[in-house]
Amino acid sequence: MENQKIKHAGSLAGLVMTSLALLFGSMQANAATYTLTVEPNYPTAQAQEVYKPLLGYLSKSTGHTFVLKIAPNYHVHWRDMRGKAKVDFTFEEAHFTDYRAKRQRMIPLVRVVEPTKYTLLISDEMASGGVQGLIGHRITSMSSPSLGYLLLGEIYQNPIAQPEIKSFAANLKDGVEMIFAGESDGAMVPSYIADQYSNLQPAMVTREMPGRALSAHEDVPADVRKAVSNAMLKLHLDNNLYDVISEIGTAKFVPTNAAAYAGSERLLSAAYGYAPPRYATSAPAKPATAPAPKPKP
């Protein structure tokens, strides 16, 4: 009798182990690898370090694997975007988010809670001249078509009254460091970075844009999109990811949609290679009704 109990227990344990193995195997079979494309605001190696905890968090939260995809600079990022290079998820500013939503079937899922603003920082010595005082002087920015660079174009619209824009910053803080080193007179940076430098003066702050968004391609299964959205909405609750969310420059993520970004891509009209969407270049529609006949004399 005792032997039968032992045999039964052994069979039950074997059944449980087999079921767990099948379940684990099924989970592995259903797991997929997705790319997260981000703007080149850091050198590639530094970006891998910055986003590594976030990628690990998403992988753990969803059961899928996430890998970072980043171009070496904005020129390549923009070229790949125009060429419709395959992307799964993107984390980008409003002008890119709107562009992809309209042309590449990308779905904005969540965004940083804060709107995006850029601040033109200057040293105390340059403060008295303000924005106009920088004409002919050096300003550092990420290269075109980064949002900061394009917003500078809205400030300085006169082609013969422009600062010298140095657009070879390797990361968002390079311009600030160049001010301290005497290599630049101003730096165009996101306001969340500008707020970290109380020893510099804001020459101006740009208009607000919708905050940076995480978008997913339509081809990503709906359940995966939902799992990623849920994970990002809980990101601020994970103390282990404080450095990630701090580096991103937000307090938390909130839900969003394509309508929130409609029209933002117009900024890209100043970028090399931009073509307006087809609906914006189509011929005007004919009147729905024929014009009324002219009265007889």
Of residues 261 and 20, the one with the higher pLDDT is 261
Return d(Cα 271, Cα 229) in angstroms, integer.
31
Tokens of 161: 């009254």
Measured in whole angstroms, how far is the alpha carbon of residue 21 from the centre of its chain? Answer: 39
pLDDT band at 220 (very low <50, low <70, confident <90, very high): very high
pLDDT band at residue 3 under the 50/70/90 scheme: low
pLDDT surpasses 90 at 32: yes
- Work out the burial of residue 156: count CB atoms within 10 Å of its CB; fewer than 13 is exposed, 13-18 middle, 19 or more buried: middle
Q: Answer for the pair 209, 97: CB distance below 8 angstroms, yes or no.
A: no
Mean pLDDT of 84-96: 97
Decide if pLDDT at 16 tops 60: no
pLDDT value of residue 2: 54
Upper half-sphere CA count for residue 95 (Cβ side, 13 Å):
22
Q: How far apart are CA 177 and CA 228, in angstroms?
A: 35
SS (H, E, C) 56-114: HHHHHHHCCEEEEEECCCHHHHHHHHHCCCCCCEEEECHHHHHHHHHHCCEEEEEEECC
**207 contacts: CB under 8 Å, gap ≥ 6:** 117, 151, 154
Q: Look up the pTM and report it.
A: 0.83
* pLDDT over 70 at 141, yes or no: yes
Q: What are phi and psi of 135, to 5 degrees?
A: -60, 125
Q: Distance (Å, rounded) from C-alpha 98 to C-alpha 92?
A: 10
What percent of the chain has pLDDT above 90?
Answer: 68
DSSP 3-state of 37: strand
